[in-house]
Amino acid sequence: MATKQATKTSQAISLKGSTKIVTEFFEFSVNSILYQRGVYPSDDFKMVKKFGTQMLTTTDESLQAYLTAITEQVHAWLMSGSISRLVLAIMSKDTRETIERWQFDVKMEGNEPLVEGQEPPPPPKPKTEKAVQSEIRDVMKQITSSVSFLPMLDEPCTFNILAYTSASSDDQPAQWVESDAHMIDAARVEQVRLRSFSTAVHKLEALVAYRLD
């Protein structure tokens, strides 16, 4: 019995392990979205094994360097608990108008504010990396299948990545600057909520908003 319990404990995901998983998920999500939506040519991507399945990653050196710099900072913010949302905004190159807005909300499990008089919820049950990978694969399948309902992007597009953090402006790295939220006009927007996944340390919820033409 003691051996079985020790095995379960060793498989539980730590803050450091959870941060690595969430960071890698965001990086591969961005790669998949840029590929699926044709923001970069399909020839600029290759398949690699990750999360127990085949994932896309860019071979474009400048894009690769850009995403590496971003994910390194996201990793630091996750470790300090100072990030609550990441957004990938796809915009028209000509007008700079936002066409799609992919939103990823990150919460620390068991850290939700309580209403006065409310009993604190029980701590989340430990999860194995294998269980988390299964949930991540479900989210990635949704991202891949999004082309079935998203309007076709029939103009050259670019993208921007936004981070919502509680860090003060003095703590912000130089490459991250204040930006507008890249929201889509409320009269022309449709939203689809995607699946979520949890590591028992972090919970990530995703949705995509897109412009109706």
Domains delineated in the chain: 8-112+132-211 (3.30.900.10)
Residue located via tokens 């971003």: 70
> What is residue 213's predicted lDDT score, i.e. its pLDDT?
82
Per-run averaged pLDDT (10 residues), the chain, 213 residues:
40 89 98 97 97 97 96 95 96 96 93 60 80 97 94 95 78 69 95 96 97 90
Three-state secondary-structure class, residue 133: helix
> What is residue 180's predicted lDDT score, i.e. its pLDDT?
87
Is there a contact between 209 and 187 (Cβ–Cβ < 8 Å)?
Answer: no
> What is residue 116's predicted lDDT score, i.e. its pLDDT?
61
> What is residue 167's predicted lDDT score, i.e. its pLDDT?
64
> What is residue 4's predicted lDDT score, i.e. its pLDDT?
39
Phi-psi region of 117 (alpha: psi -120 to 50; beta: other; left: phi over 0): left
> What is residue 169's predicted lDDT score, i.e. its pLDDT?
44
> What is residue 173's predicted lDDT score, i.e. its pLDDT?
66
Report phi then psi at 134, rounded to 5: -65, -45
